[in-house]
């Protein structure tokens, strides 16, 4: 009886922000009943529409069209689309306002920021319409997991804007929404025990978490010889949960794990169904390419960079946006019968823990949040050199570095519970070298 009330309260929260997702959720459900060819045809129509509007309404794309094509461009086929230039995070930072539509598409949109899963912070604009599509996609995912609307939710998360640290279950918000929120940025044994007790009391139907945080908690449960009430589903996101970690989490919770792939700047990208054979691309929300080093589409099974075009965002359309993540296409249809193509993450984003000498394990995502919306931060990398020695290298553009560096250093020291100020150093560098795999990692832990 309580589920409809939870569902109504959650819709009320979104309604306050001007987000109405009911009709969009029904449209996404209809997409799943289309044939593969029909999905492709309608997706191409959406792609044509977002490109045409961008060339008409967005100064950056309008100038590029005049410069490179004499002001004329016709969407004839996918090959024509692939002649458009790629957009990366450095260009997103430098162009900023010129990537914003000048028409009413930007009305009611709000600026957001990400610390960057690869250590490259960016700011971007998100419209209410795209927010509504994201909420609708969340409802779709629940259907895939077999979780009913209004079910109880628990989060082992770290985005303070999304999940306030350790929301008190007695708070009015928590009681109305049927949610419990726990901060994943600091996972000591004591905090794992606290989380286990709260899960036992609350008995959530679905648990959301960073992959590495879920793995850390599951390992603690095993060492403590404890079990928690089995939810219906576990959703792992934000970083890669390797097969052994996935098996560990499944065993500890007694529930299936579903991988989810999305990004704050790129939006929802792909999600796993119950078959567990790759992640279905949300073809009704994004156009995804997987490209090799020369910008050519990769064949199935060949790893490349994920490049995304958001099909439902017109306030700040990001066309052929490089995510920095790697994946490969999965060949053939899924046994579930859904008409969406599938991809498999190839090492994707990894959120290592910093393991401090006092027993505190700090999730790598914590450091990305230090750079949310910080002007001047081009990229960063955290390197743990010893059990009580941390160096944060920051590639910086402009002035004011010393003030920001001191603020970051003090925040990290306080978070670690560290008294010695010399254990954390924030340095300005001219550039940050990628790892041997070619991917920029924002945290390099002791194990490396």
Reported as a single tens digit per residue, the pLDDT across 357-391 is 887 778 777 887 788 778 888 888 898 999 899 99
Which of the given ranges, 17-21, 68-72, 305-309, 350-354, has the highest pLDDT on average?
305-309
Whether the Cβ atoms of residue 354 and residue 364 lie closer than 8 Å to each other: yes
Higher pLDDT, 147 or 15: 147
Evaluated on CA atoms 313, 314, 315, 320, the torsion sign reads positive
Q: Are 310 and 372 contained in the same domain? A: no
Q: Are 54 and 174 contained in the same domain? A: yes
Q: Give the number of domains in the chain.
A: 2
> Angle at Cα 166 formed by Cα 164 and Cα 167, nearest 5°?
65
Mean pLDDT of the chain: 87
Q: Measured between alpha carbons, how far is 120 from 114 in angstroms, rounded to an integer?
A: 8
Quote the pTM value: 0.80
Q: Specify the pLDDT at position 436.
A: 46
> Angle at Cα 287 formed by Cα 286 and Cα 292, nearest 5°?
130
* Structural domain harbouring 381: 353-444
Q: Specify the pLDDT at position 374.
A: 82
Q: Are 98 and 160 contained in the same domain? A: yes
Higher pLDDT, 425 or 106: 425
Q: Is the pLDDT of residue 256 over 90?
A: yes
Structure tokens at 118: 């690869």
Last residue of a domain, one of 349, 364, 393: 349
Confidence of residue 117 (pLDDT cuts 50, 70, 90): low
Confidence of residue 19 (pLDDT cuts 50, 70, 90): confident
Q: Are 193 and 322 contained in the same domain? A: yes
Sequential DSSP letters for 313-329: --SS---SEEEEEEEEE
For 162-190, what is the mean pLDDT? 75
Q: Are 108 and 150 contained in the same domain? A: yes
Whether the Cβ atoms of residue 81 and residue 288 lie closer than 8 Å to each other: no
Q: Are 163 and 249 contained in the same domain? A: yes
Last residue of a domain, one of 320, 349, 378: 349
Last residue of a domain, one of 349, 376, 407: 349
For 336-342, what is the mean pLDDT? 96
Q: Which helix (H) or strand (E) holds 248?
A: helix 243-253
Confidence of residue 438 (pLDDT cuts 50, 70, 90): very low
Q: Which of 381, 379, 376 is nearest to 399 (CA)?
A: 376
Q: Are 357 and 306 contained in the same domain? A: no
């Amino acid at each position: 009886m309580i589920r409809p009330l939870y569902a109504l309260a959650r819709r009320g929260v979104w309604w306050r922000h001007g987000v109405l997702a009911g009709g969009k959720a029904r449209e996404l459900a209809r997409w799943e009943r289309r044939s593969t060819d029909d999905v492709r045809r309608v997706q191409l129509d959406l792609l044509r529409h977002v490109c045409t509007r961008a060339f008409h309404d967005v100064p950056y794309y309008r100038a590029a069209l005049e410069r490179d094509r004499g002001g004329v461009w016709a969407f004839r086929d996918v090959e024509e689309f692939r002649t458009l230039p790629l957009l990366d995070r450095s260009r997103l930072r430098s162009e900023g306002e010129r990537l914003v539509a000048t028409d009413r598409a930007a009305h009611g949109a709000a600026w957001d920021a990400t610390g960057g899963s690869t250590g490259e912070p960016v700011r971007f604009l998100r419209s209410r319409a795209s927010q509504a599509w994201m909420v609708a996609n969340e409802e779709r995912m629940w259907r895939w997991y077999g979780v009913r609307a209004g079910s109880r939710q628990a989060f082992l998360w770290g985005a303070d804007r999304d999940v306030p640290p350790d929301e008190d279950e007695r708070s009015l918000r928590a009681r109305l929404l049927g949610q419990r929120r726990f901060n994943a940025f600091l996972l000591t044994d004591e905090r794992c025990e606290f989380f286990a007790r709260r899960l036992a009391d609350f008995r959530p139907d679905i648990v959301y978490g960073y992959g590495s945080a879920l793995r850390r908690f599951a390992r603690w449960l095993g060492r403590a010889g404890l079990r928690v009430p089995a939810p219906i589903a576990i959703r792992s996101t934000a970083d890669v949960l390797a097969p052994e970690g996935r098996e560990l989490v499944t065993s500890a919770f007694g529930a299936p794990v579903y991988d989810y792939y999305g990004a704050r700047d790129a939006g929802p990208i792909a999600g796993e169904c119950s078959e567990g054979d790759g992640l279905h691309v949300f073809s009704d929300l994004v156009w995804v390419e997987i490209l090799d080093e020369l910008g050519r589409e990769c064949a199935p099974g060949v790893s490349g960079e994920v490049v995304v075009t958001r099909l439902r965002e017109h306030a700040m359309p990001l066309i052929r946006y490089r995510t920095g993540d790697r994946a490969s296409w999965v060949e053939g249809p899924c046994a579930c019968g859904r008409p969406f193509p599938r991809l498999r993450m190839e090492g994707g984003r990894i959120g290592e823990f910093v393991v401090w000498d006092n027993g505190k394990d700090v999730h790598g995502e914590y450091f990305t949040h230090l750079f949310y919306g910080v002007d001047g931060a081009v990229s960063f990398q955290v390197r743990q050199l010893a059990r009580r020695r941390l160096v944060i290298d920051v590639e910086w553009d402009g002035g004011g570095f010393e003030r920001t560096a001191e603020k970051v250093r003090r925040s990290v020291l306080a978070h670690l519970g560290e008294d010695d100020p010399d254990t954390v150093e924030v340095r300005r560098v001219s550039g940050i070298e990628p790892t041997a795999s070619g991917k920029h990692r924002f945290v390099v832990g002791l194990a490396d």
